[in-house]
Amino acid sequence: MILFPAIDLKEGRCVRLVQGDMAQAVVFNDDPAAQAAAFEAQGFSWLHVVDLDGAFAGAPMNAAAVDAILARVKLPVQLGGGIRDMKTLEAWLAKGVSRVIIGTAAVRDPAFVREAARRHPGRIAVGIDAKDGRVAVEGWAQTSSMTAEELGRRFEDAGVAAIIYTDIARDGILKGLNIEMTLALAQAVTIPVIASGGLASIEDVHRLLQPDCALLAGAITGRALYDGRIDPRAALAAIREAGRAPSAPAS
């Protein structure tokens, strides 16, 4: 299981939102590259980066901050937010992003996801963000009629490397992951699923290490790292001791 520290970018700074509300942004670091370097020093094997402004705009808006992160650390980076066409996607891969996350376009343009996965095997993830059981798009500003499982099944044979499942109601409020819904999605598809939204404590990490969660590929943690609720070294040690740590950083 990979534990991904999250760097959410808004106006060039590292922030955390509450339930995806841009009006409830708390700035945790004015220097995202320095934050990335701190996560690397703590022993994490991947970074999860989201261009929040890009998710709303439909195009990259924090490119300078992402470039600075890529230049600063050697960790593989998965990046989402505003990636809705092949030109943008391939530009990020060329810059050194290891995996791109397609969210809104996965609902609006599934053929784009399939073509991207065909061209770049192992480097395309689908972001499924759910609000009240329905998939949300456009930076979570709109809710579609599709369920998370319906969207996941759409890409079963597409060669997608991972699904990142976020329960929007849990995101940023430190109430714990929605294990039930995340496992339901993981059981419905063969694509590896990464849990996101609400991870709040070392107890949540231990919950992810229970046998029923063995089919999950990882989890994303954000606010709990920034405010000290989770000791990164203790969390990574627990994963190693459970025999769930990746053998080496993927790329």
Q: Which residues are catalytic?
A: 8, 129
The residue with tokens 């969660």 is 213
Neighbouring-strand partners of residue 143:
136
